[in-house]
Chain A
């Protein structure tokens, strides 16, 4: 990957451009002034307009090599900026291409977003979707106008970009490809749709059951206090479940709507996990489970978002308490693995999980149990939330279980880079 923008960096006209375009700037300025007078404005608009024109003409790429390049070097401020320098300072992915689509330069944002491309390889290799192929073919041929297209990447996380291509430099034989991230808007739309679909679907079952009991209470069970008490108990359970479901759905949606971006802040897991276990003390006591925490000496730091990591361990430890209550103990163990990776394992000694369920536990609403016993309380979203948060952290969740011996959930964090 060359960093000097290929062989010839694109130059901007700078002061020379301003001089060259002086007549246009004056004319434009006059026009703005005229509009200003006509509309009776304050003068700010026209001043801004003239400034804009000046900047535009200064940024206009030089068309005829020699003379302007000379003029450039004359600028008193030494205002020579290579295109690569400019692109490196921009947070959107940018590629410079030749007319074949060979990548001459890519900025840091491009490498972060789309991974590395071999030096001198064709951009078409990386952006393979049929629309992008057509777009690139047409854009590299047209040379004149700016064109744009939407580019969607679904894997590993959905990202949506507005891509525009434009010829730059002399002769229109080089191109700049600019990606503008629009994932946020799309994610929020998606979140809304998903939330409504999931919520209505998942809330229907408990609602139906509650309305059934109400009917019974008003009809056959009208004069049966014993049955009434029992039904009210069940209805109470159902409403609590619905409340939890809404909480979980909201959490999941909120995490999904957050912008992509890996955490850089160091978080010490030692006090974090201890805090989580303290808040879960009551749950553990009710289940008759003893939580043991084993951390190596000193701080145990990973790059993370504190609140989200709290949620991860809350889910894992409370699951272990609920499902592993027969084992009487839950162990949370932190380790530094070979290669600097850090891992935290939550182990229970309960009945374990049958093998066929393991690959699917993190799917939404997937439940390995029969809907009886303690797990009846679950929403089927806990591990989906955990997995989603860990994806954001570049971390992995590994689940091991042996029926009859218990289960362990291990979170692997990549080696921190701070």
Chain B
């Protein structure tokens, strides 16, 4: 077998892997998007569909993993090719987790159902998920375009997600204090918000992996972490309860 021949089939393998990653990315994006839609509109049928669709993502991850291991064993790729294979395994892991988070939101949306009092929280929710989706799209686009130009800005935007999450968290605490009947749905909502915030984190992970694939270097280690909800105690939220007014 000539080296030319090996080269060509390795390229084919890599191409296969990257297109599968893209397909997975598309599914993951769709799952998160739809889960938030199911949550904000109280669409139970959609939620059940999302829960079923998660199997597709799991299947794709398994397939990419198996194929990647096979390529590693048979072709023993080096340098950039090796990074691409290992990167693909990592990215598919992140995407699979994103799918799980979407599925979890869908499950909770069924429990929450259509609670009219929570309507006002959904505006903030949609805004939070838009930010996370923007991140995810940007990293997957960077992966498609094989460019690292926008990678750093993706990571910077993580700050915005964290800030928004912290603010939503506070709002939900207030909501629970106003009426104990809100405690159950709001607790689920807090988990949903956390899930979306985690989607942003996974997008950041993928950004780092893509950067590594393209350049062979680690993205400079200045990872912002700003989930400040742990400092928002009941007391401080209580003070806030008099101040903010969110008309509904």
Q: List residues of chain A with CB under 8 Å of any chain B CB.
A: 100-101, 115-118, 121-122, 124-130, 132-133, 154-156, 205, 354, 356-360, 363-371, 380
Is the CB–CB distance between A356 and B147 below 8 Å?
no
When distances are taken between beta carbons in the complex, the residues of chain A under 8 Å from B80 are none
Instruction: Tell me which of A360, A363, A369 contacts B245 (CB under 8 A).
Output: A369
B91 interfacial contact with A, CB 8 Å: no
Q: Mark B5-23, 1 if CB is under 8 A from A, else 0.
A: 0000000000100110011
List B residues 108-140 near A (Cβ within 8 Å). Answer: 123-124, 127, 130, 133-134, 137, 140
Is the CB–CB distance between B243 and A121 below 8 Å?
no
When distances are taken between beta carbons in the complex, the residues of chain A under 8 Å from B147 are 116, 118
Chain B interface main SS type: helix
Q: Name the distance in Å between A43's Cβ and chain B's nearest Cβ.
A: 53
Q: Identify 12 residue pairs between A and B in the complex whose beta-carbon atoms are under 8 Å apart, listed by A's number.
A: A122-B22, A124-B19, A127-B26, A129-B30, A130-B30, A155-B130, A155-B133, A358-B163, A358-B167, A367-B246, A370-B245, A371-B245
- Known contacts A357-B167, A359-B164: does B245 contact A367 (CB below 8 Å)? yes
- B165: nearest residue on chain A (CB-CB)? A359
When distances are taken between beta carbons in the complex, the residues of chain A under 8 Å from B22 are 122, 124-126, 128, 133
Instruction: Tell me which of B15, B26, B160 contacts A133 (CB under 8 A).
Output: B26
- Known contacts A122-B18, A155-B137, A356-B167: does B247 contact A128 (CB below 8 Å)? no
- A128: nearest residue on chain B (CB-CB)? B26
In the bound assembly, the distance between CA atoms of A401 and B53 in angstroms comes to 44
Instruction: Tell me which of A133, A154, A205, A369 contacts B33 (CB under 8 A).
Output: A154
When distances are taken between beta carbons in the complex, the residues of chain B under 8 Å from A367 are 244-247
In the bound assembly, the distance between CA atoms of A154 and B33 in angstroms comes to 9
When distances are taken between beta carbons in the complex, the residues of chain A under 8 Å from B164 are 359-360
When distances are taken between beta carbons in the complex, the residues of chain B under 8 Å from A370 are 242-245
Q: Name the distance in Å between B61's Cβ and chain A's nearest Cβ.
A: 15
In the bound assembly, the distance between CA atoms of A127 and B145 in angstroms comes to 12
Which 8 pairs, one residue from A and one from B, show the smallest C-beta to C-beta distance? A128-B26, A125-B144, A118-B146, A359-B163, A125-B22, A371-B245, A359-B164, A370-B245
B100 interfacial contact with A, CB 8 Å: no
B166 interfacial contact with A, CB 8 Å: yes
When distances are taken between beta carbons in the complex, the residues of chain A under 8 Å from B15 are 100, 122
- Known contacts A118-B147, A122-B18: does B30 contact A359 (CB below 8 Å)? no
- B149: nearest residue on chain A (CB-CB)? A116
- A127: nearest residue on chain B (CB-CB)? B26
Is the CB–CB distance between A117 and B124 below 8 Å?
no
When distances are taken between beta carbons in the complex, the residues of chain A under 8 Å from B141 are 115, 126
Instruction: Tell me which of B134, B240, B247 contacts A356 (CB under 8 A).
Output: B240
B27 interfacial contact with A, CB 8 Å: yes
Q: Name the distance in Å between A323's Cβ and chain B's nearest Cβ.
A: 14
Q: Name the distance in Å between B53's Cβ and chain A's nearest Cβ.
A: 9
Is the CB–CB distance between B145 and A116 below 8 Å?
yes
Q: Name the distance in Å between B30's Cβ and chain A's nearest Cβ.
A: 6
- Known contacts A128-B25, A357-B167, A359-B167: does B244 contact A368 (CB below 8 Å)? yes
B29 interfacial contact with A, CB 8 Å: yes
- Known contacts A154-B133, A356-B166, A363-B124: does B23 contact A124 (CB below 8 Å)? yes
Q: Mark B153-173, 1 if CB is under 8 A from A, else 0.
A: 000000010011011001000
When distances are taken between beta carbons in the complex, the residues of chain B under 8 Å from A368 are 244
Q: Name the distance in Å between B120's Cβ and chain A's nearest Cβ.
A: 8
Is the CB–CB distance between A205 and B247 below 8 Å?
yes
When distances are taken between beta carbons in the complex, the residues of chain A under 8 Å from B124 are 360, 363, 366
Is the CB–CB distance between A363 and B123 below 8 Å?
yes
Q: Name the distance in Å between A217's Cβ and chain B's nearest Cβ.
A: 25
When distances are taken between beta carbons in the complex, the residues of chain B under 8 Å from A364 are 123
Is the CB–CB distance between B127 and A360 below 8 Å?
yes
Is the CB–CB distance between A155 and B134 below 8 Å?
yes
When distances are taken between beta carbons in the complex, the residues of chain A under 8 Å from B146 are 118, 121
B211 interfacial contact with A, CB 8 Å: no
Is the CB–CB distance between B144 and A118 below 8 Å?
yes
In the bound assembly, the distance between CA atoms of A356 and B245 in angstroms comes to 13
When distances are taken between beta carbons in the complex, the residues of chain B under 8 Å from A128 are 22-23, 25-26, 29, 140
